Structure 1
């Protein structure tokens, strides 16, 4: 999953990592953090239950442009091979622990 911290504004620290769901599906777990849904949201869709900080958590995009604006994304070690081989289909990048995302809003195309 793609996880981005939104406590500092629109662009924050971002990771690709493995997220686990609670049995009820109402709680997400990543590392030592617990997240609950904001039940919608435009720039953030989950919050950290302990700190109240906002996050955007979603599936990974195949093109790697998960951020809204240009930024760096760290790939957790335990998902790195799976991410580069199965999601991005770029075996030549499997050694990368971090990459630059151009962002959703950096390449708006005229209609």
Structure 2
């Protein structure tokens, strides 16, 4: 399963872009439709199940909605919020190198 350093934000129970967020490592399945994060299994939103949501993944057990995307160098990961994501310790060095211009692991070619 491919690992990626990603931005992830909880959308359920919070106003637009005000939920907690992290820069963390997600483990994706081969199809990229399922991700594993902190013991949770997240599935990609498909169809109209979350048509009015700002989420692109949901927790299969709790139904909580998440936004998952690659981190941005300019740190504008949330569209409207001003909060900063928690950078998890196990990705801190790679993320800081990314902010300085290095490629993220697994994305050396784009």
TM-score range, shorter chain: 0.7 to 0.9
Instruction: Give the secondary structure class of the aligned counterpart of 2:68.
Output: strand
Measured on the aligned residues, the alpha-carbon RMSD in Å equals: 1.7
Distance in 1 of aligned mates of 2:85 and 2:29: 25
Counterpart residue number, 1:8: 13
Alignment TM-score, normalising by the size of structure 1: 0.73
**Count of matched residue positions in the alignment of Structure 1 and Structure 2:** 89
- Report deviation, 1:67: 1.1
Moved over 6 A (4+): none
Counterpart residue number, 2:28: 21
- Unmatched segments (≥5 aa) in structure 1: 91-111
Instruction: Give the secondary structure class of the aligned counterpart of 1:28.
Output: strand
- Unmatched segments (≥5 aa) in structure 2: 1-5, 102-110
The structure with higher relative contact order (CA 8 Å, sep 6+) is 2
Is it true that 1:84 corresponds to 2:96 in the alignment? yes
